[in-house]
């Protein structure tokens, strides 16, 4: 019986039928919960604006990020057409901020993508193959885990020079470890599911099962971890830039801007304050979104979240304490 | 228990070996050498220097010699500071890093746990909100932002504290570096403690303790807190690593004569032996602390003892 014949019979039945047919998938539920989380939604909006500013912002400012203006050295905000003032070389801070924001976000995205590819492949293969393969691969992760990784990034940067692409790779290459662990754990439990057994029964190869059946089902925890990796990467880049090993001048990133601002802070505090605000807001947004996603996708550890201040604790706790937090009512 | 410790040590040794190997070959792959200057040295001098430090031998021989030296506790001479060995440099400067690190460590554990407990006891109350908001800020504001801001406010505007310098470790010089170093860790620890406490406070054994009519203080400290700090113990290792990277920044900003400066500068100047020494020193510390926290965890939580 098709929907059309139902509609002709009774609109009421049709409406009921439609609702029943539509159903709510896991992802619908997750989206609903995510959008009910005010902190996460606000963060997404702010972050969207930031990305937009990083992309089109440089076009809106009358100065280029590396344009040196001899007459504008250390001018304060709102003077000589510099909305946020200018630095020691008279370069417009707003233009440099937009560029730096773009660089930091790009590094965050690319390095996270690198860590995503390595981590997911590593974890899924180790988890699915199991046995000796798993043992060896995870032992390698254990060993790498106990290294003071920032030292290795520093040596890497010194070794191969501070080039842009290497910066992406170097940071990404040390961030994949946790991802690999998470993915392996998930794979181990997925492996036992019937649909994997079915795939094996119809004779799919192991790599095909991993890439077509395991990896797509890992999406939830991976997405959550990715949003929490991005701020980590941005922080790592800023940290390197702060030590003079990251992005090289005249290019800017939030880290180099903060570093330069800190050097001139007594003469020109705005050079420190504005980049710091951008940095903190960016990191905060990612953290809120990450926590919101975790609440949405994996509601069972909601009480560990950061974006929702109340309603933590197992369900028994929440029933007892009246809570006004939007996400806990979900 | 002894088996557990030995097992972990067996893993720790190859880890350290991997560290040494990777760092050695990465440093050697870097273009330039410790003696490359703007002006080219006469070939005869260059040859003499290379012979003195064995740079004229094949790389694998140098590697074997270095590892052999390390196994005998000899980290070699510094290539830039002519009259000092690597052990001298570490020996003369570790105290500064250790002092701020240790004070920050104590501060972060004490403050973090107390704040976490307070937040958990006043769950959803104003105290909880305040603590957790501060924690969010603490996590999101990086050290290289807090440090200059504190310098600006308390150092140059108010003039309460010295902006930098070590001054033999005088108390006023310690305040700002320690606060900056501890802040992010306090935030993380207070969140961990809060989550653990809330779970513990609603567990059955705490209800039993309440039913027996034990005083609240005893319930909180003796029963709930014990279970709540467990996840903290396994966080000790990563926390230490965090302190270490933090101290690279803090020492630079506050101009402290600690080890951080040597690491970055030596890497830039290709002072091979000093970089290697630092890597080994810190890697060994991190591995040791991970080991300690694993063992502590196993002692405190009998369920994982044989894992």
Residues of A in contact with B137 (CB under 8 A): 280
Q: Which two tokens stand for residue B60?
A: 């694998």
Inter-chain contact B140–A310, Cβ cutoff 8 Å?
Answer: no
Inter-chain contact B202–A314, Cβ cutoff 8 Å?
Answer: yes
d(Cα A175, Cα A170) in Å, to the nearest integer?
Answer: 9
Give chain A's residues under pLDDT 70: 1-11, 13-26, 146-148, 161-162, 298-330
User: 3-class secondary structure for chain B?
Assistant: CHHHHHHHHHHHHHHHHHHHHHHHHHHHHCCCCCCCCCCCCCHHHHHHHHHHCCCCCCHHHHHHHHHHHHHCCCCCECCCCCCCEHHHHHHHHHHHHHHHHHHHHHHHHHHHHHHHHHHHHCCCCHHHHHHHHHHHHHHHCCHHHHHHHHHHHHHHHCCCCCCCCCHHHCHHHHHHHHHHHHHHHHHHHHHHHHHHHHHHHCCHHHHHHHHCCCCHHHHHHHHHHHHHCHHHHHHHHHHHHHHHHHHHHHHHHHCCCCHHHHHHHHHHHCCHHHHHHHHHHHHHHHHHHHHHHHHHHHHHCHHHCCC
Inter-chain contact B199–A314, Cβ cutoff 8 Å?
Answer: yes
Phi, psi at A286, each rounded to 5°: -60, -40
User: 3-class secondary structure for B150-177?
Assistant: HHHHHHHHCCCCCCCCCHHHCHHHHHHH
d(Cα B290, Cα B240) in Å, to the nearest integer?
Answer: 9
- The architecture of the domain spanning A57-293 is Orthogonal Bundle (1.10)
pLDDT score recorded for residue B128: 86
Task: Supply the ipTM of this predicted assembly.
Answer: 0.76
pLDDT band at residue B22, thresholds of 50, 70 and 90? Answer: confident
By the 8 A CB rule, do B221 and B284 touch?
no
Higher pLDDT, A282 or B269: A282
Average pLDDT, integer, range B271-299: 82
Domain ranges of chain A: 1-36+298-330, 57-293
Question: pLDDT for B243-260, tens place per residue?
Answer: 877 788 888 888 888 887
By the 8 A CB rule, do B128 and B161 touch?
no
Inter-chain contact A239–B11, Cβ cutoff 8 Å?
Answer: no
In whole angstroms, how far apart are CA A268 and each of A14, A76, A272? 68, 7, 8
Residue B91 CB coordination number (10 Å): 11
pLDDT score recorded for residue B113: 92
Which residues 139-178 on chain B approach chain A with CB closer than 8 angstroms? 139-142, 144-145, 147-149, 151-152, 156
Inter-chain contact B142–A239, Cβ cutoff 8 Å?
Answer: yes
**Cα R_g (chain A), whole angstroms:** 25
pLDDT score recorded for residue B111: 92
Question: pLDDT for B191-208, tens place per residue?
Answer: 888 888 888 888 888 899
By the 8 A CB rule, do B10 and B304 touch?
no
In sequence order, which residues have a C-beta less than 8 Å from that of residue A235 and are 6 or more positions away?
A283, B142
Query: Taking Cα atoms as reference points, which of B288, B101, B198, B3 lies closest to residue A315?
Result: B198
Average pLDDT, integer, range B132-155: 85
C-alpha angle A280-A285-A290 in degrees, rounded to nearest 5: 130
What is the DSSP-derived secondary structure letter of residue A82?
Answer: B
Q: Which two tokens stand for residue B224?
A: 């709930």
3-state secondary structure of A86: strand
Best of B8, B17, B21, B124 to disrupt the A interface (most A CBs within 10 Å) is B124
pLDDT score recorded for residue B36: 67
Average pLDDT, integer, range B256-269: 80
Inter-chain contact B132–A259, Cβ cutoff 8 Å?
Answer: no
d(Cα A206, Cα A126) in Å, to the nearest integer?
Answer: 12
d(Cα A52, Cα A95) in Å, to the nearest integer?
Answer: 14
In whole angstroms, how far apart are CA A61 and each of A56, A84, A92, A95? 9, 11, 9, 6
In sequence order, which residues have a C-beta less than 8 Å from that of residue B230 and are 6 or more positions away?
B196, B297, B300, B301
Query: What percent of chain B lies above the pLDDT cut of 70?
Result: 96
Taking the Cβ of residue B288 and every Cβ of chain A, the question of whether any pair is shorter than 8 Å is answered with no
Residues of A in contact with B279 (CB under 8 A): 148, 151, 155
DSSP-H helix ranges across A26-146: 26-36, 38-60, 93-129, 131-145
d(Cα B170, Cα B166) in Å, to the nearest integer?
Answer: 7
Query: What percent of chain B lies above the pLDDT cut of 90?
Result: 5
Q: Which two tokens stand for residue B137?
A: 């800020």
Inter-chain contact B249–A313, Cβ cutoff 8 Å?
Answer: no
Residues of A in contact with B278 (CB under 8 A): 151
pLDDT score recorded for residue B20: 84
Residue B144, pLDDT above cutoff 80: yes
């Amino acid at each position: 019986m098709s929907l059309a014949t139902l509609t002709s019979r009774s609109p009421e039945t049709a409406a009921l039928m439609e609702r029943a047919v539509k159903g709510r998938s896991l992802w619908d539920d997750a989206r609903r919960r995510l959008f009910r989380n005010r902190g996460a939604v606000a963060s997404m909006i702010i972050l969207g604006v930031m990305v937009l500013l990083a992309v089109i912002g440089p076009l809106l400012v009358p100065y280029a990020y590396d344009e040196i203006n001899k007459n504008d050295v250390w001018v304060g905000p709102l003077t000589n057409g510099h909305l946020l003032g200018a630095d020691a070389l008279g370069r417009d801070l707003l233009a440099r901020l937009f560029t730096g924001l773009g660089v930091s976000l790009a590094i965050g995205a690319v390095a996270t993508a690198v860590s995503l590819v390595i981590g997911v492949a590593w974890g899924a293969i180790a988890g699915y193959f199991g046995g000796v393969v798993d043992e060896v691969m995870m032992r390698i992760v254990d060993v790498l885990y106990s290294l003071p990784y920032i030292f290795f990034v520093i040596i890497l940067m010194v070794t191969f020079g501070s080039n842009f692409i290497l910066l992406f790779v170097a940071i990404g290459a040390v961030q994949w470890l946790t991802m690999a662990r998470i993915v392996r754990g998930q794979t181990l439990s997925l492996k036992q599911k019937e649909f994997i057994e079915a795939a094996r029964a119809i004779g799919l190869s192991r790599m095909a099962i991993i890439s077509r059946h395991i990896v797509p089902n890992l999406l939830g925890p991976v997405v959550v971890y990715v949003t929490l990796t991005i701020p980590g990467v941005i922080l790592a880049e800023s940290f390197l830039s702060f030590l003079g090993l990251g992005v090289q001048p005249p290019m800017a990133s939030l880290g180099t801007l903060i570093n330069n601002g800190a050097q001139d802070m007594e003469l020109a505090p705005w050079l420190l304050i504005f980049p710091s605000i951008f940095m903190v807001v960016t990191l905060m947004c990612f953290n809120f979104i990450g926590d919101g996603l975790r609440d949405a996708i994996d509601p069972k550890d909601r009480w560990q979240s950061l974006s929702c201040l109340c309603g933590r604790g197992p369900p028994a706790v929440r029933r007892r304490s009246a809570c006004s937090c939007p996400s806990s009512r979900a | 228990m002894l088996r557990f410790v030995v097992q972990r040590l067996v893993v720790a040794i190859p880890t350290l070996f991997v560290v040494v190997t990777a760092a050695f070959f990465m440093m050697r792959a870097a273009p330039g050498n410790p003696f490359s200057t703007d002006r080219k040295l006469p070939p005869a001098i260059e040859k003499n220097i290379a012979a003195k430090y064995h740079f004229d031998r094949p790389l694998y021989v140098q590697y074997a010699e270095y590892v052999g030296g390390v196994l005998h506790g000899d980290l070699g001479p510094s290539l830039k500071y002519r009259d000092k060995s690597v052990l001298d440099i570490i020996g003369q400067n570790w105290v500064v890093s250790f002092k701020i690190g240790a004070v920050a460590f104590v501060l972060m554990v004490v403050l973090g746990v107390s704040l976490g407990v307070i937040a958990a006891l006043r769950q959803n109350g104003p105290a909880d909100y305040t603590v957790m908001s501060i924690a969010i800020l603490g996590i999101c504001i990086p050290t290289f932002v807090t440090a200059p801001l504190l310098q600006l406010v308390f150092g140059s505007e108010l003039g309460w504290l010295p902006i930098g310098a070590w001054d033999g470790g005088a108390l006023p010089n310690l305040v700002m570096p320690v606060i900056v170093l501890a802040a992010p860790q306090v935030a993380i620890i207070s969140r961990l403690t809060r989550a653990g406490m809330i779970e513990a406070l609603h567990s059955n054994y705490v209800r039993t303790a309440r039913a027996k009519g034990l005083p609240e203080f005893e319930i909180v400290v003796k029963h709930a807190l014990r279970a709540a700090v467990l996840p903290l113990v396994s966080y000790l290792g990563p926390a230490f690593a965090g302190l270490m990277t933090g101290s690279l920044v803090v020492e630079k900003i506050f101009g402290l004569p600690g080890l951080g400066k040597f690491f970055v500068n030596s890497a830039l100047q290709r002072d091979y032996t000093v970089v290697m020494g630092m890597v080994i020193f810190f890697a060994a510390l991190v591995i040791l602390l991970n080991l300690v926290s694993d063992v502590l965890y196993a002692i405190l939580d009998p369920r994982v003892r044989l894992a």
